[in-house]
Structure formats: C-alpha cells, structure tokens
Structure 1
Amino acid sequence: MKTLNKILVVAGAVGLTSTAYMLYKLLSDAEEDEDDEEEEKRQSATSKQTVIELNVPSKAAGAIIGRQGTKIKEIQKNTGTRINFKEDGRSKEDDSTRTMIIRGTAESAQRAELVIRDFVANMPVILTEVMSVPSSALGRIIGRGGDTIKSISRSSKAKVYVDRAPDDYRVVEQEVQLTGSREQIDLAKTLIQEKVQEEKVFRAKKSVMEANREKRNKSNMNTKQEKREEIPLDEKEPVHTNPSLHQQNVASWPSGRSFVEVYVSSVANPSTFFVQILTSKSMELDEIVKDMSQYYSKERESDVEDDIGLGQLVAAPFDQDSSWYRARVSGFQGDDPDQLDLFYLDYGDSCYLQKSKVRILQSEFMRIPFQAVECELANICPKDGDSWEEAVVDRFEELTHTAMWTVLMAKLVEIKTLSTGEKIHIVELVDTNEKVDVNIATKLCAEGLAKWCGTEKSDA
C-alpha cells in the first residue's frame, strides 16, 4: 500500500489523472491477490494435522476406552480428534504404559491430550491386596456355585479371587485376593468378614447341637443292638422299600470343596452308613425337631392317620426318646400291619413303632431337606466273602464315632445312582480329632478287618 500511495502522489503532481487511476487499479488488484495468498497460507498452516503421542498407564487403557468404546468416542467427539492406541500396544520406554496416537488440528489435539491427562490423573488408584480367611469359612464365602463371592464382587465393585478348598484339609487358612480402589477393597473386606463371622456363629451353634443330640446316642445304639439280635439279616425288610418318595429331598453334597465336615449318624456296615453334612441348613434340624416335639405333644385328631402305607412320610418319636422326628415307613414287623418299621430321614437309623404312635407329617416341618445322606466307604471290601462281620461293623462304628456327634472329614469320590433313583455317595473318611489323622479305610485294612478293592492303596 505504501508503493501505491507514492505512485498516486507522483501522478497527481504531473496531472496524469487517468493514468494514475489505471495504475491504482492494477496495483490494488495485485495487493488483494497478495492478501488472499497470505490468508490461504495462514489457513493452511492452521488446518495442518498435528499428531501427538501420549503414554498412559496400561491399567488406565481400559477406562479410557470405556465400555464398548463409549469413553474414547466421547473424547473424540468433544475435541474433534481421532484417537487410537499403537498396534504394538506398548510404549518403547516402559512396558507398563501404552502409547495413544492423537490426530487433529494443533488446538484440538492439545485439548484432547489435556482431557486424557486429566482423566488419568483423577482415576482411582487400583490396588491388589491379599487377606487371609479361615479355611472353614471358605465354603460360605464362595457360596453355592460361586453365588456369594459373585455378589460380593458386584456389591463392592472389587475383583475377588479365591482358590477352591485345597485337598489338604489340615490347611487352616486360605488367601483371598482383592483388586480395586481403596474404597472397593475395604467394602469387599467388610463383606467377607461378615461371612467369616457367620461361620463362627455356625461353629458355636454346632457345639450346642452336639450337646442336644447326645441323648440319642445310648438309646439308638441299644435299639440297634436289640434289632440286630431279633431279626436275621436275610429276613429283614430293606430300608429303602420306596426311596423315590423322598430321594429328591435329601440334602445335596456341597460343591467346590474337597473335604466337608460330617457326623456319622447311623451305620449298617462300611458299605451302608449315613452321615449328616455340617452346613447352615443342618443347623436348622434341631429347630425342626424342637418345633415338631412341641406341636405333636398335643393330641389332635386331624394328625391321626389310620391308613398308613409303605413309603409314607410320617412324624414319629424314636424308641426311648420323647422327641419327634421325620420318618418314612419302610416296612412292617412280620405280618403285623400295626407294627411299623420306620426309617428316620434325618439320622439314617431305624426303629419299630406301633402305628398308633405316628402322626401325619405336616408340611411346615418340610422346610429343609432330609439330612441323612447315604454313603459307602471307598475302595474297601469285606475281607472274606460278600458280607461284613459283626466285629467289623462294631469297629467301624467305633472309628467313626457313630451317633456321638464327633466331626469327621469326608471326601466325595463319586456318586452312584441306582435304578430306583437312589444316590449312594462313595466317600473317604478321615478322623482329625487326634494328634495323628486316621484314614478309616486304611485303619480297617491295617487291622485285618477289610481289604482294598478298586483303587489300590498303601497301608500308610
């Protein structure tokens, strides 16, 4: 423009008006072209794509991407950039970081970088901690099919990992791994401690339960001995005449645990005995017995059933015991239809009782499964012949503390399902109550009362 003004001054001085106008016009157009060119250059420089490489912690990558890419899409939309991670996924400087590529104008790329840096800076710190819990509480923490531990993870938003119960039942503590923010881990710990406390309460109730059941011991053992002498084995009615009527309602074996705690409640021989599995459900059995005893202490005509058939479920007292229990009619004594052979569904023992003494089993007392689980000792057979001698049965009852409510450890080997639908649990039994653990099968074989069959074992 300075050049143009000089030309106009000169032109005016010499009076060349038309010539000056033409010169002005030409120079004016030239100046405009120069201005347009400069603007185009400026815009080109401004719109030129900028590429920024940004290293972020690998553990933050998932949060930056977001669920199904929602977070990274939001950042791209708000900043007008394109963002992706390098294909190798790692920065050259540190394997613990990942490299992000931000593409856009200088302004938009810088804005995206600031957004991402701010997001990472404000992310909660992810920690991993390990806590120890009693092995006895592991089943309660995991829950059936992992339901409880999944619920703890959902509620706390922490990742909770725990190994299943180890094969060595002598391990008293187990590690639980927790991953999340400080708040998430603390909440998960609180929820786990609640389950541990529940297990402690359960153990305390177990002691009370053992004391309450002690009274059954002498009467049960005396009655069994009398029946054993009264009726030859080949003339006795089978215990499970019609097992299908109650088999579906028998307590199930806990899953995910190698060894479980049991009571041996009744024994026919090492190939046929019954256990009660110690679970929170089994704790309710004493309450049911108490409620039944209170209810049936009063005579009600509506509770009397004249036509009682084979396989029918009834409420009945036990011989020499005033308490009432859940039972099934498994047969009759001789030809007398009024003398019932009862199988007690929560204990596995039997008793003869007059029909007039039994009552209709009310549905309110069916709130938990029957607790007597039929078992067979794994891998052993009678030493001579196909039947167990009386001395072996007596020794087996002694080793298993039958009806003494002493805890044994049981390991499920397999489940046999008979054609009737009846399930037989093949188990190993270990007595851990003394300084040296006693494997019951090994002990019987070592004493010459049984022999190994199936899987070979040593007498260690």
Structure 2
Amino acid sequence: MTSDSSLLPSLKTLFATVTAGITGTLVYHYMKTNFFTAKDEEKIKESLYVEVPRDTVAHLIGRNGTSIKQIEEETCTAVSFIDPGGACRLAVIRGSKDGVQLAKMQLLKCVEEHAQLETTEIFVSEKTIDRLTAQESKKLREIAALSKTRIYIDGVREKRTSLLVRGTYHQIEKVREFLKEMVAEEIPAATETSNNVPMKRSPNAARTQPEKSTPTEYEKLEPTSSDGFCEVMVSFVESPSKFFVQKAGPCSKELDCLIDDLTDFYSVKENRQQYAISKYVVGSLVAILAPDDTCWYRGRVVSIDLEEDSDDDGILSVNLVDFGDTVIVKQPHVAILRPEFLSMNFQAIECRMAYIEPIGGGEWSEKAIEAFETLTYCASWKILMARVESNATMNSNCIHVLKLVDTNTEKDIDIATELVRLEFGYSTA
C-alpha cells in the first residue's frame, strides 16, 4: 500500500484507532521518536503489512530488540507489530519502496530460521562452565550474542557439565567453535600444571610415559522403567557369552562430543608430538587413532610388541574402552591421554546373555556369532531393551548377565529365544 505525504495524518489516525480499539494489540513497537517529523515524512513512500506466526515474534525482535533494530538499520525502515487476533500478527514496515521489500525479505528469512530452530546439549568440562559463569556470566552472554543463540546451563545435575543451546544448526556450530577456542586457551595453563607433560608446548618436547592407572570407572546398567529394562546399543560382539553395550540416551551425545574433542586435539601434529610416548606400559590409558578411521578414541594398552634395533614402528594392542573391541595400532598413532578426557566414565559395558548356552556346551559357532551380531544390530546403533538378570565377576570386572529384547519390529523379539529357535543354543531358563 503506497501513500504520499498528504495522506500521513490520516494514516497516523487510522493506526492509532486500530491499535487503541483492540485490547493488548500493540505487542512491540520500534518507531523512532521523530519518525513523523516533516523531514522523515518526505522519505516515507510505502507501508507494507506482513503476516508472521505468533510464536515467531519474539525471535524476530531478538534479545533486547537487537534483531529488529538490525533489520531497521540495514533497510532504513521502521518496523512495528500489531495483534489483530488469531494465529498471526502483523508486522508493519514503513520506509522507501526498496527498503520495505528488503525488510520483508529479511523478516521472512527470520521466520524460516525460526522453523529450523533446535535445542542441542553440548557437554563441556566443569572448568569451562566456571569460566563461562565467572564475572556475572559475561563470557556466556558474549557467546550467546555473537552466535545469536540462547544458552542455558544445566542446573539439574550436581555437577554442571552441559549447556543447552537453542538456535539453528549453523548458530549452534558457532557456539561449538567458541567453546573449542576457550578450551584451546586453557591448554597452556593445564600443560604447566601437569606432572605428566612438558612445561611448554613444543614439537621437540621431551617424551613422557603415561601412568598405569584406572581413574575412570566403567558405566553400569540401571533400570529406567518399572519392568527393570533400560535402553542399550550393542557396540561389539565376541560371542553371546561376551559382548559390549553402551547406554542409550544423554551418554551417547556426550561420547560423540568427547570423540570430536579428542579428534580435534590429536589431529594437530604439534599436540601429537608433545604427547608422544617414549615407553609403553600395559594397562596405561592412551589416545589412539583407530585403523582405517579418521577419529581418535580412548584406549587401554593390552599388549606391546616393540622390537629393539628395528626401524619399524612399534605395534600395540589397545582396547577401546568406550566400544569394547581391541585394535592393533602403530606407535605414531598412540599418544598420552590428557586428564581432561577422563571426565566421562568408560562407555563399553561388558555383558553376556542370560538363559542360554551354546549347543553342545562348548564354544559358540561362527554362524551363531554372526546371527547374534545381526539380531543385536551390532555397531549399527539401534536401541535394544536390556534387563540385568544377574551379575558376574571376572578379573575384577563386573559383567552384566542380560535379557535382550528387540522392539524395533512389529513383534518384540527375545534374542535368547530366537537363538534357540535357530538351533544355535539351548535354553537354561
């Protein structure tokens, strides 16, 4: 709708009448104080009304009005919102012909972004949380403003180690980048105070030896429903008598973030050199680059094959403490595991099947193992329902004896019963 300067008084009167006649209609109004001065009246050539969903208005306005102000400044327009009732509100754009069209495009883009908003949980160290909340949360507000997201600190858990970030995918990725920069800033200070690493970060730093220790425990399965079941994912299978599961839920996201952080840190050549190991100890915790993979993982040294007077790299067997399988790696692909990567419990939970034994009472056949891998979606990250029927102990390790049920199909499948039906085992129930 266009108008010349002679129609401005009537427009102002109409606008006032509309807004005064509806209770609570004026939700937000960013009109410059001198908008209707004679000087500005000469510039106004067009008014445009855009319908926007009611629940997107707050997103369009932004925190403290920053988003709408930016649109106004970039398009030389003035934007206000009125509420005619119903599911939508009207955005009133006033300015030049080109300005209102540009403002309309930006508003509609914001509406589209709002539809793509998601909430993501990002896990960080307690030290990072302390930095974010220090000095009246200035750092937290700064990151939220720069990324145009809303960030909340998890206040439910006793140990605050996660952030809830509300924004688009790209905005959330910006938050991740800011957090990684913060962690990078912490590394020099952590290096100076650690007894296991050199005082300065240097490619020629003296190589050190990791201590043989078990500072982190393995996760344990606990029921999450009244019938005693919990959700798990099978990560590695040796046989139905020895396999590993991971708990499904927040731990899965936290592990993904941990692997990303490990990979980001140890993919830097200088970091690998600084945390290189000169002498290995069986049982020590390390970071490793898995064969045929681009990611770094947490591991425990199982065996060592270092030949003296050989130009070849040493060979190590390393158990992946978050997945359960053991891999063979060369010395350059192993490094000291920084203490900050031990804040999360090891995720590989050793288990065995309940109420079933292999046919003949001997070892499980290869076909039986393959069938079990298929039935449990091994390493496919599908959720199964698990119930701990009892616990066993082997080499000081707690082993859960499980009943597993597949609920991914129309009819629930008891894994043990299915193995018996396929004649790979017999029931002991």
Bin of the TM-score, shorter chain as denominator length: 0.3 to 0.5
TM-score (norm 1): 0.44
Q: Which has the larger radius of gyration?
A: 1
TM-score when scaled to structure 2? 0.47
Q: Which structure's residues are more often helix, by fraction? A: 1
